[in-house]
Amino acid sequence: MSKLKNKILEALEEIRPFLLKDGGDISLESITGSTVNIKLHGACVNCKVNQMTLKLGVETTIKKYAPEIKQVKSVLPLSQ
């Protein structure tokens, strides 16, 4: 596993307890250049503030662990 992927997974582990508390979860979908694609699960999928969570929580935390990441995007789960 790449060093970058490990850093991103570590960042997601920091965020996960907050999402689980609200009935959601998060997973790493892919890393493309300086962009990380994540997938939100459970209650996070239809949450009205998920884009704020994505930018203020997820992206900020990932950039703290991996400053080389410039953007975090959410991909839709196959079944909503």
Domains and CATH numbers, the chain: 3-73 (3.30.300.130)
The pTM of this model reads 0.86
d(CA 11, CA 16): 9
Query: Within 10 Å of residue 7's Cβ, how many Cβ atoms?
Result: 17
Determine the pLDDT at residue 78: 52
pLDDT digits (tens), the chain, 80 positions? 699 999 999 999 999 998 999 899 999 999 999 999 999 898 888 878 877 777 888 999 999 999 999 999 988 765 44
Per-residue model confidence (pLDDT) at position 44: 82
* Whole-number pLDDT of residue 80: 44
